[in-house]
Each structure stands twice: as C-alpha cells, then as structure tokens.
Structure 1
C-alpha cells in the first residue's frame, strides 16, 4: 500500500485521524531537519512546529541532537566547507570562488573574535559595578568634547602665530 502525503509532502502516519494518538516515528529526514534548524539557532518550540510535533515529543525523540545544539553550527559550516572543497577539487570554478569567499569570511570572523577578547597579559579585572548605557554615553560625550576643545585650541594657537 502506497503511503498518503499531506500538503507539505510529509507522509501521513497509519491510523491518523482514528482513535488514540499514533506513536511518532522519527525519520532520518526529520533528524537532519532538526540538526539544520538547531544550527540556524531556532528554539525548541519553533523546531517542533516545523516538524509538526509537540515540544515534549521533540525532546523525547531528539534528545541527543538537542544536547549538541552549540556544535551544530560548527558542523554545518564544516560540511559546507567540505562540499565546496570537493567541488573545487573536481574543477568547479564557481565552487573555487565560493570556497575562497567562505575562507575570507571565516578569517574575518576569527580576527573579530580575537579582537573581542583581550589576551592573557592585557586582561583587566571586571569591575563589580558595570556602567549603564547612559553613563557610558555621557563619558564618551565628555571625552569627545575635550578632544574637540583641544583641537580648537591648537588651531587657534596656530592661527595666532600666522
């Protein structure tokens, strides 16, 4: 007997619409979809909606995948690099260009990540009282004011000499 499919192309489970709830049977396609959506940063409820299951069912059948949420983005990026490299090695010029662009983006990301974190020697202890946005903005405004005044004074002194 050929399976029936719903509007979105998912197979309709046997006994659907009958008495009782049919047990959920995860497929490899569902597992791949969960991994992809985890890599994209989707929350559990949104992933459950995409699969057409409850969040509890998602947690029950995909617990192992959900534990590796943080690693999924890295795995996705690694797989993309792998595919681009294979295609570029086979002589695909477009894949070679895309691989170069991917490497450039990765290098930029690593540089930004390195700039965001101070090195071990330059680490400053974090203060207990973190300044708020308004106070930081005021301090920056005063610093900019002082810089502007210093610049104006130096220009005035240069003009006075001429």
Structure 2
C-alpha cells in the first residue's frame, strides 16, 4: 500500500483519526532538531516536550541521536566552522570576520582546557581550593594570559607600523 503524506510532506500514521494517539513517525527535520538540542545540552525530558512526545518515545525513535551526547557539541561546532569556512573560501568579508572571532573563541577554549588539565602537583594552592574558587582562579588566570598575549601582539603590531 502506498504511504499517505500530509500537506507538509510528512507521512500520515495508519491509525490517524481513529481512537488512541497516532504513532510518532520521526522525520529528518526532527532528527536534526534532536541532534541540535542535544548539542545545546538540553535534557531528554526537555527535548521530548519540545517534540510533543514522551521520553520513552524520544529514546525509541531518536536513540542514535541521543547516544552521541558527549560529542554532539563538537559536531555542532564543526558544522558551524565548515559553514563559516565555505563563506571564507567564497570571499565573504562578514564570514571572514566571524571566522576570526570563531578561531579566537576556539583558542581560548583550548587554553582553558589545557589549564584545567594541568598536573595536580603544579600548584598546591589549587588542590586546597574548592571547585568554585578553583574555577574562578582558572578564569582569572586565563584572562590574564589572554590579555598578556593581546598586549604582546599589539606591541608587535605597533613596532611594525
């Protein structure tokens, strides 16, 4: 039997209009939406509510999207980077500017990540601090390192011109 589609091109469930709730049919748009929401850090219950389904239905139909929760943010960032890079390759000045700020954000994240994974014996004060105080200290150190780096670049730029 041929499948029936609604006006939006989505398949119509077999029991549509009958008693009981119609079966949820996952679409590619919903798969993409779930992947994006997972990358943004949404919980399963929040994603299910956004799709108007229950959490078990979400897990049943979107298991493959949910199982990559740890790398979803990296995949989203990689997709954004590729779109920006396409714009840079096309010569789009706004894309070039945005790509530069994207690179700066990425570099700051990498610096913070490396500072967070420093050996435990490197700084004994940090080992005695609580989590919040250690995070504040790392943020201050990262800002100081970034400002020193920016000042060094500015002085090099001023020396050239």
Structure-2-length-normalised TM-score? 0.67
Determine the structure 2 residue equivalent to 1:3: 6
Determine the structure 2 residue equivalent to 1:96: 96
Determine the structure 2 residue equivalent to 1:53: 53
Q: 1:81 to 1:52 in 2, by over 3 A?
A: same
61-70 vs 74-83, which moves further: 61-70
Q: What is the CA RMSD across the aligned residues, in angstroms? A: 2.9
**Contact 1:48–1:58 (8 Å) recurs in 2:** yes
Determine the structure 1 residue equivalent to 2:63: 63
User: How far apart, in 2, do the equivalents of 1:42 and 1:31 lie?
Assistant: 14
Q: CA deviation at 1:65?
A: 1.4
Alignment of 1:12-161 (within 5 A): 13-14=12-13, 15-119=15-119, 122=122
Residues 84-116 of structure 1 deviation map (CA, whole Å, 9 limit, x = unaligned): 001111010000000000000000111111112
User: How far apart, in 2, do the equivalents of 1:99 and 1:73 lie?
Assistant: 18
Write out the 4+ residue segments of structure 1 that deviate beyond 3 Å after TM superposition: 10-17, 119-124, 130-133
**Contact 1:4–1:12 (8 Å) recurs in 2:** no
Structure-1-length-normalised TM-score? 0.67
**Contact 2:26–2:61 (8 Å) recurs in 1:** yes
Q: 1:53 to 1:132 in 2, by over 3 A?
A: closer
Structure number with the higher helix fraction is: 2
- The structure with the largest alpha-carbon Rg is 1
